[in-house]
Amino acid sequence: MSNDNLTAVLYGIEDLRLEQRPVPEIADDEVLLKMDSVGICGSDVHYLVHGRIGDFVLTKPMIIGHEASGIVAKVGKKVKNLVVGDRVACEPGVPCRYCEHCKSGQYNLCPDMIFCATPPYDGNLTRYYKHAADFCYKLPDHVTMEEGALLEPLSVGVHACRRAGVGLGSKVLVLGAGPIGLVTLLAAQAMGAEQVMITDLVQDRLDVAKELGATHTLLMNKNDSAE
């Protein structure tokens, strides 16, 4: 294994640096991943441009990136679900596992969540990254590493459609045709939606949505009134 661990570290607004970081040491229940593909999320861009998202403020250098896939390079002593060489997608938020939300299965609401690239926690736009083994999912052979990295944003669309109760014959409105809007469109179609209308301020994005199967597109204007 090489010691090259070139890493994208955000120091402040418009101050992103590439630097070498030590290869992380893993705990018994963790794996070391050789990262393959990492998406640049809107949140990464937000931290780069504004240095914060609401209450999450960048106060010290942070590694960006959380939409990721990699190959298992090392496994901790207690890891049973993965072996070296497995191709995996990362679920970027690791919860405490002990609070009421975690115990009731709604671990996404855990107040003590450690979420990649959300201050103060580092992300995974790096060569070597360690992660909880049970938050790494082995990819089937027909799923590419790039697709693996996109599972996290895709899950946002799946969650939105589940919450909205999308099913066979549903008519769905998706507001915004950025990446999250598009994965929501795809999820709605896969869940059986009959019609999906999608809106955006940019025609090019609507063209992509149309290619992906949106039945209706609507170009909005920033000056459109609330009515």
Enumerate binding residues for Zn ion (CB under 5 A).
41, 95-96, 99, 102, 110
Token pair 């301020």 in the structure block, residue: 201
Minimum distance, C-beta of residue 182 to Zn ion, in the bound complex (Å)? 13
Closer residue to Zn ion in complex, CB, 110/206: 110
What is the closest distance, in whole angstroms, from the C-beta atom of residue 35 to Zn ion in the complex? 15
Query: What's the min distance (Å) between Cβ of 52 and Zn ion?
Result: 16
CB of 189 to Zn ion, least distance (A): 21
Token pair 């890891």 in the structure block, residue = 79
Nearer to Zn ion, 73 or 122 (CB): 122
117: left (phi over 0), alpha (psi -120 to 50) or beta: left
Please, which residue, 99 or 164, has the CB nearer to Zn ion? 99
Report the candidate in 27, 28, 41, 1 with the shortest Cα–Cα distance to residue 128: 1
* Long-range contacts of the stretch 216-221 (C-beta < 8 A, 24+): 217/177
Least distance from Zn ion to the Cβ atom of residue 181, Å: 13
Question: By C-beta, is 51 or 123 nearer to Zn ion?
Answer: 123
Closest to 117 in 3D by CA, of 58, 72, 73: 58
Residue 196: φ, ψ to 5°: -130, 120
Closer Cβ to Zn ion, 48 or 197, answer by number: 48
Please tell me the distance from the alpha carbon of residue 206 to that of residue 200, in angstroms, as a whole number. Answer: 7
